[in-house]
Amino acid sequence: MGQRNALLSGLACSVVILACSGESGDASISPETACNDAASAICDKVEECAPFISTAVFADRATCVARFKINCVSSFSANGTSATPTRAAQCARDARSATCEDLVGRMPPETCRTLPGALEDGAVCGHDAQCKNKLCRLAQGSACGACSALGAAGGACERPDDCDHGLTCVDQRCIAYGKSGNACGAKAPCLPTLGCNDGICAAPLAAGARCTFRLNQNPCEAAKGFYCHPKDGVCVAIGTAAPGGQCELSLERVTACTGGAECKIASGATTGPCVAPAADGAPCNDGEGPKCLGPARCTSGVCTVVDPASCK
């Protein structure tokens, strides 16, 4: 299961497709059409590259599309934004032909990368495309953020999107994903398309392949929902449980929650409930749960979807 956080980080980078920015272009492309195309491209690619994580986060494609479309149109009218429907539509086309390694490794096509906005560091923002240095840094619990710069390797971060392309966030520091042959472990994730096999990043093992279980390493195809069974020494499927069901982490089996639910296993136990994410507008708690389903954020104890154009 050590690769799941890395995969979620890669999934988070897909949001950049809805943050595409650039010069104004063909005015015949409506904001709604551009956002529909972008959301569809993201969700189709996630289904292709990381189907298990797609189910764990969104439950189904319709939910994926709906969540990624939120705030897309309003991003085109936010203060100082560089985002345009034309660029978003081109990004959607390019994303469909991107490799899984690039997409989940936070290396999207050039047309999907945010261009500088007009706002200086420190200015109030709600979207990366508003900021001159291409990052709207969001602190936990805040509705709007402050313009900042993407973190280089070793830079401070709270989430993968705080880091530059090709980097992820581990222990609040931006680090590069390990490539094939690099060392890996709990604090050194491989590219999400690879497995961590005996401490080395390598091509992931397929279902049914023999493997050696090691804590915080997964040599199997995690993106497709497989892990190394600690007793049997074989790559087997991770079980799934819907919100309200029971998750498990034991020597016998691993059962993960779907639909954005959080697995709450008490200390010393091996099973626990899958706590559903709070609905938009419902009470939330980032520590105790329930948490929000992005892009909603837990602000003043309520899951809030903030319009980027309202952050001034």
CA 179/CA 191 separation, integer angstroms: 6
Burial 151-161 (b: 16+ CB within 10 A, else e): beeebebeebb
Q: What is the mean pLDDT of the chain?
A: 89
Q: According to the model, what pLDDT value does residue 267 have?
A: 94
CA 83 to chain centre: 20
The string of pLDDT tens digits covering residues 239-296 is 999 999 999 999 999 999 999 999 999 999 999 999 999 999 999 999 888 999 989 9
Q: According to the model, what pLDDT value does residue 203 have?
A: 97
Q: According to the model, what pLDDT value does residue 290 have?
A: 95
pLDDT reading at 217 higher than 90: yes
pLDDT reading at 23 higher than 70: no
Q: According to the model, what pLDDT value does residue 141 have?
A: 80
The string of pLDDT tens digits covering residues 198-214 is 999 999 999 999 999 99
Q: According to the model, what pLDDT value does residue 27 have?
A: 55
39: left (phi over 0), alpha (psi -120 to 50) or beta: alpha
- 59 pLDDT band, cuts 50/70/90, is confident
Percentage, residues of the chain above pLDDT 70:
91
The string of pLDDT tens digits covering residues 69-82 is 998 999 999 999 99
pLDDT reading at 14 higher than 70: no
Is the peptide bond preceding residue 230 cis, with omega within 30 degrees of 0?
A: no
Please name the helix (run of DSSP H) or strand (run of DSSP E) that holds residue 7, with its range, or none: helix 4-13
Q: According to the model, what pLDDT value does residue 177 have?
A: 96
Q: How many CB atoms are located within 10 Å of the residue 97 CB?
A: 9
- 3 pLDDT band, cuts 50/70/90, is very low
- Backbone torsions φ then ψ of 162, nearest 5 degrees: -75, -15
CA 228/CA 53 separation, integer angstroms: 17
Instruction: Give the residue with greater pLDDT, 1 vs 137.
Output: 137
The string of pLDDT tens digits covering residues 291-312 is 999 899 999 999 999 999 999 8
Q: According to the model, what pLDDT value does residue 262 have?
A: 95
Q: Which of 3-7, 16-20, 62-66 has the highest mean pLDDT?
A: 62-66
Q: Would strands 254-257 and 239-241 be described as parallel, antiparallel, or unpaired?
A: parallel
Q: According to the model, what pLDDT value does residue 104 have?
A: 87
pLDDT reading at 13 higher than 50: no
Q: What is the pTM of this model?
A: 0.83
Domain segments of the chain: what residues? 4-176+295-310
pLDDT reading at 18 higher than 60: no
